[in-house]
Structure 1
Amino acid sequence: MRGGSEEPTPLPGWLRVDVADSQERTRAVNALVVLYGVAVVGAVATLPLVLVAGGVVAGLTCVAVTLTAVISALLVRSGRLSAGLGLFFAVVMVGNIVAVMLTDDARLTAVYCVIPVAIAGVTLTMRWALVVTGTAALIGVVGTWMFPPGQGGSPPITRDEIITTSLILMAAVLVTTSLGSWGQKREGLRADLEAHRATELAQSLRSANAELERRVEERTEELQRALSQQERLVGELAELTMRDPLTGLHNRRHAEHELPRMTATAQRYDQPLAMALLDLDHFKQVNDRHSYAVGDEVLMRFTAILRENARASDVVVRYGGEEFLLVMPQTTLPQALVLCERLRAAVEAYAWRDVHPDLRLTVSIGVADSDQRDLRGVTAAMDAALHDAKRDGRNRVVAAPAALPRRPVQGSAAPGLVELDATAAEQPAES
């Protein structure tokens, strides 16, 4: 907006027109101020023209032009710009022709024809301004040529006529051009204000969009962080549900989830898989005689022994209260027996007196493999082997049948089961 940030004074009511197009509205405003000026100048100049020209025709012509300007202004204000300007220029041109024809005198016709040309320059488009200019020039030249001053007994142009006509012409041109420029300036200020407001609105929209995009991006990042944290917490919760809180080992739920997959993998790739079920002997007596706190410490110490003797690929699970499951992938039954015997010996040799002076613990272990067995069969065979290890005196490793040739060791083993002998226990475990 020109001249600072203050809003310009809006157009007065007598200059407002009902036109939507900005360029046409500018021409309409110019037309209004020019027509108002012509009406004022015409009304004021009527008497001097009658007195100086000495005829009624000049006065009537001036009155006709004044009335036409008023009517044309009313048409322009109602939005009918073409009708108003067309009426005005038609009356002005016809008035000049009628005046010449009635008086047989074209002394000042060429001069008066300058007025519509000046008005057309600020109110019409270029094409119609050229039409008005050409018509005015034709009327002025032809009229003056056919009816020159002093012909037919008409008096010659006097000094007073020249002065009066010149002053009226100057006033008309000054008023029309000045009012036209003023109206155009006011319309330009209004257009600049609208453009300024449109620019501010566009900037506000861009700022609002940028702020909205920033907030959306922040909310998206927050949502992503929340989702990541939720996924992490869900994963931690799932892991917690799969682990024993006391020993930190995987629990039976984890085993029920993983064992079918591990068994299926071993069968698909024809790989050996062995499992062992370990049970601390007489563990209930530990709780009854020495307290549950001592029992918990025993379980944690036993867990440490399991982790120290198991391999990285083995899966150690707390299967029940004092029962533990050892899953040994890619391990044959003889290899599993050697590993389990090492575990049994480590438990028996452990310094349990550090936990309680009267404490001594052993473990019974049942072992089975997946050779010609499904998961249910391995689990049943392993459980049966553990049952027979306890029945035969505990503190021993017993393998399920049909996976290793039957070899009774140290007396009588359970029917259908094989007990590990001392020579097998001394063999190193294969990785």
Structure 2
Amino acid sequence: MTVLRPDVTEPDSARGGAAAWRAPDGPHGADDAPARPAPAETSGLVQLHESIATLLASRGQWRQAYQHLRSALDLVYADHDEQPQIPEQLRREVARLRREHAEAREQSMRDSLTASYNRRYLDQRLVSLVAQQCGSPDGLAVALVDLDWFKQVNDTYGHLVGDRVLQRVVELLQDGLPEGAFCARYGGEEFVLVLPGIDAPAAVAVSEAARARVEHYPWGQIVPGLRVTVSVGLAHEPGTSDASGPPVGAEQQLLRADDLLYAAKQSGRNAVAYREGGRVRLAGAAAGRRAISGQRAASY
């Protein structure tokens, strides 16, 4: 039996599973039907495929792992005219690999500190949502959220408290999001709320509600004197059936949200800035302030 070394992913003798095994040519030549492997040889090959599957799964090579389990099943079935039931051990092994695959994929999309989605997932999902807008009446909103004066939180209370603040802010941002919406960490103390299938007034209402939840949370329970607010730049794109041109790309929509975030900061922070009728406006409690449309907010 081939010995699996750490530097060998798939031994040549095991790559094809049962189909790759062939007995030496008999006295009547190569056209003779190959003899079946002896039971001991079959058992050894099954164990080898299972070992290779486990090794590949530990490396995240899930498709190849499934192929080796399939080869192990083919060897088990080789001596049966009718396909028997899958052995319970292999059934459990397949279920375990699928579970570990799903868990590993989910972890690869999550931010390790806040458990929100990470930048990689955001980039991929936002591109997909923009593509889905083609020919669709549904709008798409992107809200860029930044914690106000977060450096002062770290400097005053320490980074451990700062980490707890980030974790709680994510919980508050995600609370009450509509179906299909999600929160992702954009970087540092910036987060993005992606709101698909939504019109502009509803997107403003969702963003303002999230801002208010952060403002009114009892932060003093974490440490006395702590206060946390966020500023939000909300960019909304209508469905393509309502738009005069092609849908705005994912990167461009994030840039528009960033410009509006700048407007919210310049207008006094703790506000949601959005565009309506070509003008920058502030939502909710900040609506009475003067919305400052700086150069960045007017750049498109």
Structure 2 length normalisation: TM-score? 0.63
Maintained 8 Å contact 1:382/1:400: no
Select the residue among 346, 370, 388 that pairs with 2:263.
Answer: 388
The structure where helix makes up a greater share of residues is 1
Q: Would the aligned equivalents of 1:366 and 1:400 in 2 still touch at CA under 8 Å?
A: no
> How far apart, CA to CA, are the structure 1 residues paired with 2:231 and 2:138?
26
1:382-410 deviation line (CA, Å, top 9, x unaligned): 000000000000011101355x7766741
Name the CA distance, whole Å, in 1 between partners of 2:56 and 2:171. Answer: 36
Aligned pair count reads 212
1:301 is displaced (CA, Å) by: 1.1
List aligned pairs for 1:144-183, cutoff 5 A: none
Contact 1:381 1:400 in 2 (8 A): no
Among residues 272, 275, 288, which one is paired with 1:410 in the alignment? 288
Where relative contact order (Cα < 8 A, 6+ residues apart) is larger, the structure is 2
Which letter maps to 1:331? I
Secondary structure at the counterpart of residue 317 of structure 1:
strand
Question: Within the alignment, does 1:320 sit opposite 2:183 as a pair?
Answer: no
Structure 2 residue 134 is the aligned partner of structure 1 residue 256 = no
The one-letter amino acid of 2:228's match is L
- 2:216 is the counterpart of 1:349: yes
Residue of structure 2 in register with 1:213 after alignment: 42
Does structure 2 retain, via aligned residues, the 8 Å contact 1:277–1:326? yes
Equivalent in the alignment of 2:159 = 292
Unaligned runs of 5+ in 2: 1-34, 63-96
- Tell me, yes or no, if the aligned pair for 1:263 and 1:370 is still in contact at 8 Å: no
* SS of alignment partner, residue 310 of structure 1: coil
Residue 52 of structure 2: aligned partner: 223
**Contact kept in structure 1, 2:233 and 2:262, CA below 8 Å:** yes
Partner SS for 1:298: helix
Deviation at 1:241, TM superposition (A): 3.8
* Structure with a larger share of its residues in strand: 2
Corresponding residue SS for 1:274: strand
Measure, in 2, the Cα distance between the counterparts of 1:328 and 1:413: 23
| Structure 1 residues without counterparts, runs of 5 or longer | 1-205, 419-431
Query: Per-residue displacement from partner, 1:343-381 (whole Å, max 9, x unpaired)?
Result: 111111100000111111111010011235222321111
Equivalent AA in structure 2 for residue 218 of structure 1: Q
CA distance in 1, matches of 2:219, 2:181: 25
Partner amino acid, structure 1, of 2:217 = Y
- 8 Å Cα contact 2:267-2:289 kept in structure 1: no
Once residues 167 and 289 of structure 2 are traced to their aligned partners in structure 1, the CA distance between those partners, rounded to angstroms, is 34
The one-letter code matched in structure 2 to 1:216 is L
What SS does the corresponding residue of 1:309 show, helix, strand or coil?
A: coil
Larger of the two Rg values belongs to structure: 1
Q: Is the 8 A contact 1:242 1:251 kept in 2?
A: yes
Q: Does 1:378 align with 2:253?
A: yes
C-alpha contact 2:267 2:292 (8 A) present in aligned 1: yes
Change (3 A) 1:210 1:393: same
- Structure 2: distance between partners of 1:405 and 1:221: 63
1:338, distance to aligned residue in structure 2 (A): 0.2
Normalised by the length of structure 1, the TM-score is 0.45
Cα RMSD for the two superposed structures: 2.7
